[in-house]
């Protein structure tokens, strides 16, 4: 297999995209033009179909990174006197909590170490103990370590207590099932540059229509007001402010390829195969995964760094990059790790190629001891 002219991104987004997706950005669009507005409408329709939310939910796109849309969802859906519970087991849960603090929404957290799943029973107890909590905000796939949280079980607990649920599905949407017919939620937040394999620059929020209709005046921000964005789009088919036209066109092309591939089952299946090939290949080199396989999401895998004096992440990163692959630094606080993503458009040979590049890099660096010796 010949090496790509630029490195393959083994990160949780931005990720490697197809030629067809990049080609979609090679023309310019008028943001008021009917053809462009049809693209926006098509994306909104297809996003709803992915979560089986047609007729019950609305898709509201928004400019900016995925975090912009997460902040918009919390700011729009949670009233200013609302109270948010955030079960926290990683960096992106912590970001959710920080958003609540910055927006002045009352916050309660349930804190876990980075290798633990969120427990639905803990959420149940917290909601039973505090009837003042109005919403729960949860990260589906916590890419800080790669933990897959038990979303459906959490959603059923939240629904039992009659509270609202906001789901950060940034790194899972389109690859891991979220079915609005079975899993009750007020909002699911995702973005263009993740599992749908578009390019970064816009997010979108799937909101229950009956919830969105009650959100007028909640938002702290003009540009992040999902209610206003929705009302304006419904009235005019246009975005309120200048849209990221090339990003929108790329996402439209990416979703068309997603559908052609076979949708969620095919995309999720490809990523699961990538994940297995990665874990197996790295294990053959002596690397240990940080997480219990039972809670590992097939999106990004955290590995313990080599236990060798010759190992240095910056050198390791640059050497692997020279061999055609870009990895991700670890995001854990207690142990030294690095992360390798399983998502993106790079074909079935991409992961074995990355493992081979890592093996060659270790040899070049003189790293002999990958894992610490097991105590007798």
Residue at 2 is within a domain: no
Domain boundary among the residues 260, 275, 291 is at 260
pLDDT score of 13: 86
Asked if residue 286 has pLDDT above 70, the reply is yes
Report, as an integer, the average pLDDT of 232-240: 97
Residue 256 and residue 267 share a domain: no
Residue at 375 is within a domain: no
CATH number for the domain including 306?
3.90.1150.10
Residue 120 and residue 177 share a domain: yes
pLDDT band per the 50, 70, 90 thresholds, residue 373: low
Asked if residue 358 has pLDDT above 80, the reply is yes
pTM for this one?
A: 0.96
Asked if residue 236 has pLDDT above 90, the reply is yes
- Residue 157 CB contacts under 8 Å (≥ 6 apart), including other chains: 120, 123, 124, 127
How many structural domains are present in the chain?
2
Residue at 53 is within a domain: yes
Residue 169 and residue 144 share a domain: yes
Report, as an integer, the average pLDDT of 36-51: 98
Residue 90 and residue 79 share a domain: yes
Residue 339 and residue 249 share a domain: no
pLDDT band per the 50, 70, 90 thresholds, residue 8: very high
pLDDT band per the 50, 70, 90 thresholds, residue 145: very high
Residue at 372 is within a domain: no
Residue at 167 is within a domain: yes
Residue 24 and residue 116 share a domain: yes
Residue 192 and residue 71 share a domain: yes
Residue of 268 and 376 predicted with greater confidence = 268
343: containing domain = 8-14+263-365
Q: Quick one: tokens of 339?
A: 């992360």
Residue at 44 is within a domain: yes
Residue 208 and residue 332 share a domain: no
Q: Percent of the chain having pLDDT more than 90? A: 93
Per residue in 238-279, pLDDT tens? 999 999 999 999 999 999 999 999 999 999 999 999 999 999
Q: Percent of the chain having pLDDT more than 70? A: 97
Domain boundary among the residues 229, 260, 291 is at 260
Q: Helices 91-102 & 66-77, crossing angle to 10 degrees?
A: 50
pLDDT score of 347: 83
**Measured distance CA(150)–CA(141) in Å, rounded:** 9
Torsion sign (Cα): 146, 152, 155, 160: negative
pLDDT score of 2: 39
Per residue in 295-342, pLDDT tens? 999 999 999 999 999 999 999 999 999 999 999 988 776 789 999 999
Residue 305 and residue 237 share a domain: no
Domain boundary among the residues 230, 260, 290 is at 260
Residue 200 and residue 288 share a domain: no
Per residue in 337-354, pLDDT tens? 999 999 999 987 799 999
Residue at 272 is within a domain: yes
**Sequence-ordered alpha helix ranges (H) in 287-349:** 313-322
What rounded mean pLDDT belongs to the chain? 95
């Amino acid at each position: 297999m010949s090496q790509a002219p630029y490195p393959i991104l083994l990160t949780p987004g931005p990720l490697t995209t197809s030629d067809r997706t990049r080609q979609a950005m090679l023309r310019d669009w008028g943001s008021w033009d009917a053809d462009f507005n049809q693209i926006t409408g098509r994306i909104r329709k297809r996003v709803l179909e992915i979560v089986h939310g047609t007729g019950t939910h609305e898709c509201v796109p928004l400019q900016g990174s995925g975090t912009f849309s997460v902040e918009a969802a919390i700011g729009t859906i949670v009233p200013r006197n609302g109270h948010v519970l955030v079960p926290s087991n990683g960096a992106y849960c912590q970001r959710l909590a920080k958003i609540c603090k910055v927006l002045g929404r009352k916050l309660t957290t349930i804190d876990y170490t980075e290798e633990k799943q969120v427990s639905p029973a803990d959420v149940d107890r917290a909601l039973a103990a505090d009837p003042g909590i109005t919403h729960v905000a949860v990260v589906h796939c916590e890419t800080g370590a790669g933990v897959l949280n038990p979303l459906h079980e959490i959603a059923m607990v939240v629904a039992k207590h009659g509270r609202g649920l906001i789901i950060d599905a940034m790194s899972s949407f389109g690859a891991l099932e979220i079915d609005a017919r079975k899993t009750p939620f007020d909002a699911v937040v995702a973005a263009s540059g993740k599992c749908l394999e578009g390019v970064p620059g816009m997010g979108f929020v799937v909101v229950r229509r009956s919830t969105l209709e009650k959100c007028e005046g909640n938002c702290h921000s003009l540009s992040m007001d999902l209610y206003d964005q929705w009302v304006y789009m419904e009235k005019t088919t246009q975005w309120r402010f200048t849209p990221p036209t090339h990003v929108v066109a790329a996402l439209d092309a990416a979703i068309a390829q997603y559908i052609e591939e076979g949708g969620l089952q095919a995309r999720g299946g490809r990523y699961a195969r990538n994940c297995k090939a990665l874990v197996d290949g790295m294990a053959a080199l002596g690397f240990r995964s940080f997480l219990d396989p039972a809670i590992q999401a097939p999106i990004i895998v955290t590995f313990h760094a080599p236990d060798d004096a010759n190992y240095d992440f910056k050198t390791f990163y640059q050497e692997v990059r020279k061999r055609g692959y870009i990895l991700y630094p670890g995001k854990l606080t207690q142990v030294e790790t690095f992360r390798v993503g399983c998502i993106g458009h790079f074909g079935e040979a991409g992961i074995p190629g990355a493992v081979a590049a890592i093996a060659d890099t270790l040899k070049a660096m003189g790293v002999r001891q990958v894992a610490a010796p097991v105590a007798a």
